Amino acid sequence: MTATAEAPALIGSSGDSLREAFGKALAALAGEFPKLVVLDADIAGGTGVHHFRAAHPDRFLQFGIAEQNMMAAAGGLAAVGLLPVVTTFAVFCLRAVEQARLSLAYTRRNAKIVASHPGLDVGPDGGSAQALEDIAAFRAIPGMTVLSPADPLEMAQATRAMLEFDGPVYMRTGRSPAKRLFDEDHKFEIGKGQIVRKGKDVTLVACGVEVARALEAAEHLAEEKIDARVVNMATIKPIDAGLLARCARETGAIVTAEDHNIFGGLGGAVAEALAASNPVPIEFVGVKDTFGASGEPEELAEHFGISAPFIAEAARRAIARKGKGK
């Protein structure tokens, strides 16, 4: 891809990584959000905000390799009326969770955190760089909205929605080229999941890069006459409990899929919601409480059990448990 900040028509174009889609969208939205400032910790080329820097250097704030200070300083920028967007890798957001907690969430600042390079999708940089705990950490902070869009178009829409929303937000982007899943009439809304494939036997609830894999799994299952519904759950907090309850009632079994630890992420959020309303069999696809490793994202997805065949297998297990009380 050779798209640049000067060509906003290419926002969300197929083959863009989620981070590129975010960076281009952010640059294109600068005029509409005059208070918007972007904070960087010497990693703009990695997070996609080099597009913003090129277009609006005066609103691009360099913090050096010092994420704790950057995160808390965003609280100060918001306090004086600006709209700060903190950008770094997801793993370095983890380093500044406590700053986000006190200086952004406890203070209810209108500040945004956008984390690139989450999960196994990071690939060759290896286990130290692959944040598999960030959704859990940020989801546990009161008042923090947590987003993980699935394709470049949705990422561009979510970037706008995040800026329009009043309050602290944590949003995951992604490093690797992302499949285009949605067409132009797709409409992202904070707090709403969407059924992106109809089905009645089981619901596959996924976020981020796992949505594409869940759709692929649904294709495999269709060959076995298993009719899998797929939900794109781009807002992990607040979770769309109404949609989940409906899917549980209508399909009787749930599978969650995420590029994250099986503990505390999307799976946890879905289980918490359904335990209270419609307890049905739930199977969790995610990284099984271990760290990642170097490799290409697709190899890693296979190795750590989050690729489409694993989602399909989890669906078979969930369906087999229906009505058995276990």
Partner 1 sequence: MGLAKPITAKDADEEDKATLEGLVADVTAAARFTRQHAIAAIYHAGSGHPGGAMSSADILAALFGAELNLWPDIVNDAHRDRFVLSKGHGAPALYAVAAHYGFCSPRAALALRKLGSPYQGHPHVLDLPWVETSTGSLGQGFSVALGMAMGLKLQKSQARVYTLLGDGELQEGEVWEAAMCAAHHNLDNLCAIIDYNKLQSDNRNDAIMRLEPLAAKWRAFDWAVAEVDGHDISELLRTFRRAAATAGRPSVIIAHTVKGKGVPYMENIPAWHGSVKLTREQAEEALAALGAQRDEIREFLDDRNG
| Contacts to partner 1 by CB under 8 A | 37, 58-59, 61-64, 66, 68-69, 71-82, 84, 98-99, 102-103, 106-108
- Token representation of residue 159: 């970037």
State in angstroms the smallest separation of the CB of 146 from partner 1.
21
State in angstroms the smallest separation of the CB of 111 from partner 1.
9
Q: Is 250 a catalytic residue?
A: no
H or E element, residue 258: strand 254-261
H or E element, residue 73: helix 67-79
β-strands 194-197, 228-232 pairing: antiparallel
Q: Which is nearer to partner 1, 37 or 155 (CB)?
A: 37
H or E element, residue 221: helix 210-223
Q: Which is nearer to partner 1, 59 or 197 (CB)?
A: 59
- Helices (H) and strands (E) in the chain — how many of each? 13, 12
H or E element, residue 19: helix 18-29
Burial class (CB in 10 A: 0-12, 13-18, 19+), 321: middle
Q: Which is nearer to partner 1, 27 or 36 (CB)?
A: 36
Q: Which is nearer to partner 1, 72 or 91 (CB)?
A: 72
State in angstroms the smallest separation of the CB of 249 from partner 1.
39
Question: How is residue 288 annotated by DSSP?
Answer: -
State in angstroms the smallest separation of the CB of 258 from partner 1.
30
Q: Which of 20, 32, 67, 164 is catalytic?
A: 67
**Active site positions, annotated:** 67
